[in-house]
Structure 1
C-alpha cells in the first residue's frame, strides 16, 4: 500500500536569529489515511516540539510519490521525474510525471540523490526540475508492529544524521538501500 502524504501548515511563535519572537507558519508532511488522522498526527508531533500554543492553518493532500531521507542532509527538495515511454500505436513518445521529496544540502546533491533513487529504473527518465521545498520536517507513519520501530529508527537516523559522519559518502548507496527496504 502506498503512503498518502498530507502537508500541514502550523502557525506558532519561535525565536529568530536575533533572539526576537516572531510568528511563523511552517509546512510539515505527515503520512496519514485521512485529513482527520493527519490533523491528529500533526497535533501529536507538534506537542513534542512546541511548548507554547500553535494553530494548524491548512491541511492539503501532497502529491509526492515517494519520500527519501538522506544522511547528512538538512533540507528537502522536490524532484520532478518524467518517465518516458514509446507508444507503438501512435508512434509518439509519452511522458508520465511524478514528484519525489529528496533530502539534500543543495540542488546538486538533490540531483545526485535523485539519480541514486532512480538508478534501478527500467525505463528512460528525465529530471526536468528540482526545487527547494519549504517542508520543515517529515513524519512517516509506523503502525507499531514488529519491525516498524526499527524502520522508524532508521528513517529518523537518516533524516537527522550528523554532518560529521564522513563514512556515509563511501557507503551511500548500500546504507540507503538497507534503510529504505520495506
Structure 2
C-alpha cells in the first residue's frame, strides 16, 4: 500500500470499445490523472489511452477531483476504485469543543471490505483520530500517475 498526494483530475473519455464478441460499442469511461492544469490532464490522458485504444478518443469532461491523495494497492486483485471520506476529529483548546474536518481519498481495492482495510493500513501510521464518514465505489477505470 502506498499513498500519493497530487492535484488530481477526473477525465471522462468517449471511444469505440471492442467488446468480447468482436462488436464495437461507444464507451464513456472515467480516468484519473495527476496534473497541474486542465490542459495537462487532457494531454496526459490522451497519451496514456492512445496506446490502448484503436480509433479516435474524445475528451468529454475534465473536473478537478474531490481528493488530493490516492492510496494505491500492491495486490493485482484490487481492480476497483473507492471514494472514501474520513472525518478527522481535533479538539479546540480554547473552547474545548470537537472540530471535524472531512477529507476525501481515492482508494484502490477489490471490494468495500478491502477498501476499508486498505484505508486502515495507511491511516494506522497517523496519530490523528478519525471516523469513516462515507465510502462508495466509483466509476474510475484507472489512475494515471507521473
TM-score where L is the length of structure 2: 0.90
- For residue 39 of structure 1, report the CA deviation from its aligned partner: 1.0
- Aligned equivalent of 1:127, options 124, 129, 132: 132
Q: Secondary structure at the match of 1:38?
A: helix
- Taking a change above 3 Å as real, the CA distance of residues 18 and 92 of structure 1, as seen in their structure-2 partners, is farther
2:16 aligned with 1:36: no
In structure 1, the partner of 2:102 is: 97
Q: CA deviation at 1:20?
A: 3.2
Post-superposition offset of 1:91: 2.2
Report SS of the residue matched to 2:113.
helix
CA distance in 2, matches of 1:23, 1:137: 18
Aligned to 2:92: 87
Number of equivalenced pairs: 140
Higher relative contact order (CA 8 A, sep 6+): 2
Question: Once superposed, what is the RMSD of the aligned Cα atoms?
Answer: 1.3
Q: CA deviation at 1:18?
A: 4.9
Which is richer in strand?
Answer: 2
- Unpaired runs of 5+ residues, structure 1, are 142-182
| More helix by percentage | 1
CA distance in structure 2 between the partners assigned to 1:89 and 1:43 by the alignment = 51
Aligned match of 1:167 = none
